[in-house]
Amino acid sequence: MTDPQWQAPGQGAWPPPANGAPPPGGWAPPAAGSGDGSSQPGYGAPQPGSGAPQYGAPQYGAPQYGAPQYGAPQYAPQYGGPQPGWTPPPKPGLLPLRPLGFGTLMWAPFRTLRRNPGPVLGSGLIVQLAIALATVGAFVPFFFAMAGRVDSASAADQDVIMAGAMGGFLLLMLIPLALSVVGTAFLQGIMVVEVASSTLGERLRFGELWRRTARRIWPLIGWTLLVGVAAIIAILAVVLLGVLVGVSFAAATSGAVGGIVATVIIIGFVVLAVAALFVWLAVKLSLVPSVIVMEGAGVGRAIGRSWRLTNGFFWRTFGVEALVAVILNLAAQVVTTPVSLIGGIVIGLVDPTGSGSGVGAIIALYAVSLVLSLVIGAITAVVQSAVVAVVYLDLRMRKEGLDLLLQRHVELRDAGQPVGDPFAPSAAPAAPAPAWT
């Protein structure tokens, strides 16, 4: 309630100076119990023409000192309207829309498996099962054929047949190796689609994941063939170089021990150099499948894009990928080693003489071991492919401003407006919206 006896500044209790200037220290409301007939600061209608600040109801259109302004951070000064303040970047899904720290790069691949386990783990299992079935289908008939020939051959021919069998097994080893390379590239394409869609808050089903990846299957196969041919050439070159060096030293030293040792040392250094070169190229080109799938690039342009994206971030990329691989291998050993030990003990107890009396138990143990290996292999392949996809998105955020474009994409999508593909290489990063709007 307004005290009718109160007088506005410029009258009664607050006489202004004759020149109309404010008193030293500025105007102040009357103190409680100051003798003006009110126990609290008075609020009433302003007196026109007094030239003093008007204490009363809030005046619209002017900043209200001392009261928080809606729409602006409460800790910011409220002079002249709302001030922009920092707000954390949005996180609609798997990854925050900002350049990622090392910790996020480490846990995000594991969270990918937990966030959408059915399609993700199912894809890994299918790839691993296809590789296993193709390997078994190639090795088992060859094994039985060689066993039949050895049994029916004479003692003089058995050595020749065994040597041929060993060569055949070495050649057949190329089948699971090639299938593993193709399956890994295809699985990496699946995982980059999953990580990208999860970052935008989407949850794709199994069929949609495979359809989006299958559109780029031929460039992926072309990339894997290129990698396979390069690997075979590198291996043959190392073997040929080792043979030439060995023959040269043997001829120069007449088979002396020193020449053999020198040959082994030189071959060892060559192998280490080739291995270092292989690791360097593997890291620099690890993003090629992600570029092929997400940007619709051909093999040649994808190689260039992966090379440029990893420039300046080689050790960071290598560290993340290597550390995740070490963690997965250690975890796999922790799981499989006890099972192998227990299986050997059980087989020894069931059939201690090796007579074949416990065939059923042996088959059951091998079946359990095979299923466990498939599951662990699927999890390992999925997480290793996911970490490459996360690194790909992080490098694009750091070097191309992809995080700004994704933020704008999420804003428009949530507002019901039409949006395109934010991962397309032709899309330009959008300017960040003010944090206070």
**What is the per-residue pLDDT for 437?**
36
For the chain, the average pLDDT equals 74
CA–CA dist 283, 310 (Å, integer): 8
Confidence at 341, pLDDT banded by 50, 70, 90: confident
Q: What is the mean pLDDT of residues 314-331?
A: 91
Closest CA to 325 of 286, 285, 356: 286
pTM above threshold 0.85: no
Tell me how far apart the alpha carbons of residues 10 and 50 are, in angstroms, rounded to a whole number.
6
Q: What are the angstrom distances between the C-alpha of 431 and each of 9, 396, 425?
A: 49, 16, 17
User: Token pair for residue 82?
Assistant: 């709302």
Which pLDDT belongs to residue 393? Answer: 93
The pLDDT value recorded for residue 351 is 65
What is the per-residue pLDDT for 301? 93
Q: Alpha helices, DSSP H only, in 254-313? A: 257-284, 288-295, 299-310
Q: How far is CA 126 from CA 41, 61, 70, 183, 226, in A?
A: 78, 66, 55, 10, 24
The CA-based dihedral angle spanning residues 101, 303, 400, 113, taken in that order and rounded to the nearest 10 degrees: -40
pLDDT at 291: 93
- 204-245 pLDDT tens trace: 888 888 888 888 889 988 898 888 788 778 877 877 777 777
**Residue of higher predicted confidence among 11 and 190:** 190
Give whichever of 219-228, 244-253, 263-272, 302-311 has the largest mean pLDDT. Answer: 302-311
- Tokens 């699985």, residue? 187
Mean pLDDT of 127-147: 80
321 with 290: CB under 8 angstroms?
Answer: no
437 or 302, which is more confident? 302
Q: What is the average pLDDT across 406-410?
A: 88
Domain range summary for the chain, segments of one domain joined by +: 102-218+312-409
Alpha-carbon gap, residue 282 to 275, rounded angstroms: 10
User: What does the block give as tokens for 359?
Assistant: 């065939």
The answer to whether the CB of 195 falls within 8 A of the CB of 386 is yes
pLDDT for 195 beyond 80:
yes
pLDDT digits (tens, 9 = 90+) for 105-126: 888 888 888 888 888 888 889 8
Among 226, 115, 196, 218, CA closest to 423 = 196
Lowest mean pLDDT, pick from 98-112, 242-256, 282-296? 242-256
